[in-house]
Amino acid sequence: MIRRGYLMLLTGLMAGLLLAGVLSRAYGSTGGASSIGRPERVDLVFLLTSEKEGWANAVKPLFEQYFYRKYGVRLNLVLYVTGSHETVNLMLSGSVKPDVWSPASSIWIPYFDKKWRETHGNVSIVGDWYPVALSPLVLVGWSDIIEKYNVRGFSDLYRLARSGVDFKYGHPDPLLSNGGVMALMMEFCEAANKTPDQLTIDDVRDPRVLEIVKTIESKAVYYGKSTGFFGAWAVDAGPQAITFFAVYENVALSYAAKARAKWEVGLKAVYPQLGVLYSDHPVVMIEADWVDDWKRLAARELLLFLLRPDIQQLAQQYGFRPVNPLVPLDESVFNEGNGVLREIKSKALKPPSGEVLEALFEIWTEVKNPGV
């Protein structure tokens, strides 16, 4: 069972419940003086990433109804959906002023915080945050090839390339996709034999590390905009088109059976032995001057709502693992027959610093396959 964040999650739940309880008594839909200062409507701007859109659309009417029943206030959950990197750019430019933010991965939080502080007098607007769903980045390949060459991580791609094994590799462009950033991060981590939180800018620029990453990337045949493309491409074009690709676990879930039906061999997810970098979908409280008390209350209620067992169960229908330890994993979804593991034994990795993430963006053009 995944243990990362459980202590933080439980502590945060308790703190959030206490806060919500206090505010509920002050502003709740029952009680004499509680109606003072209560608005007729609250528009809560939720800036989030596209892989959560289906789940968020399902949650939206449920949460709006819940909030009205509890507070007697009409809430409009405004979903602003885009990519993780773009969410950062939109906030930095002031184009979007969210009340609550959810990038695909917590690796974006220190990066955004660093960039925001640089232009706002070292003042942060990043408040409390907690993950609400888990989708690990995995290396997916055809099961027969994975077993033949004993592929257990990204460093094995370097081993195969150096030994002359012909294969085709792919992952999303890190300048366009969170999945691409995570894939590149894992390549550098395995090359340096360090976890993301241990990685330094010097590691990213180390000639030995660069040679390993360049060799892996030399086998790339395509850099897409999203992880889902690679699963569909593998099913459509087969093993001759793409051998390995770095994507979210839910992509393997979505396409493993389809691949087996068409090509008589399935897709299999590899969870790197160094550790697993999770797309943990944090919900981040924004502590800015445009977030008033009611928006702040609604944002915390949204977080608690997303962590409810029934809503966490709903997330599994969209390929996400629950973070609430009270919610059992749906073993009809997460099993080896679907190309994934029920229990992930690799340790969960912590995100890198904002400086290291920025260094990866800068070095990308140097290590990518120039012919792609």
| pLDDT the model gives residue 189 | 98
Mean pLDDT of 68-85: 95
- Can you list the alpha helix ranges (DSSP code H) found in the chain? 6-27, 53-71, 84-93, 108-119, 143-149, 155-162, 178-192, 201-205, 207-217, 228-237, 249-263, 293-306, 309-316, 354-367
Tokens standing for residue 279: 């797309």
Whose tokens are 């004499």? That residue is: 32
Judge whether 6-131+282-316 and 136-277+336-367 match in fold.
yes
| pLDDT the model gives residue 4 | 40
| pLDDT the model gives residue 78 | 98
Fill in the DSSP letter of residue 273.
T
The string of pLDDT tens digits covering residues 327-345 is: 999 999 899 989 999 999 9
Q: Using CA atoms, how far apart are residues 246 and 170, in angstroms rounded to an integer?
A: 7
Checking if the pLDDT of 358 tops 60, the result is yes
- pTM, entire model: 0.81
CATH architecture of the domain 136-277+336-367 equals: 3-Layer(aba) Sandwich (3.40)
Checking if the pLDDT of 354 tops 90, the result is no
Q: Phi first, then psi: give them for residue 163, nearest 5 degrees.
A: -90, 5
The string of pLDDT tens digits covering residues 150-208 is: 999 999 999 999 999 999 999 999 988 899 999 999 999 999 999 999 999 999 999 99
CA distances to 115, 189, 235 from 176, in Å: 18, 20, 23
- Give me the residues paired with residue 234 across strands: none
**Exposed, middle or buried, 82 (CB in 10 Å: 0-12/13-18/19+)?**
middle
| pLDDT the model gives residue 31 | 40
| pLDDT the model gives residue 3 | 40
Checking if the pLDDT of 274 tops 90, the result is yes
Q: Which CATH class is domain 6-131+282-316?
A: alpha beta
Q: What is the residue extent of each domain of the chain?
A: 6-131+282-316, 136-277+336-367
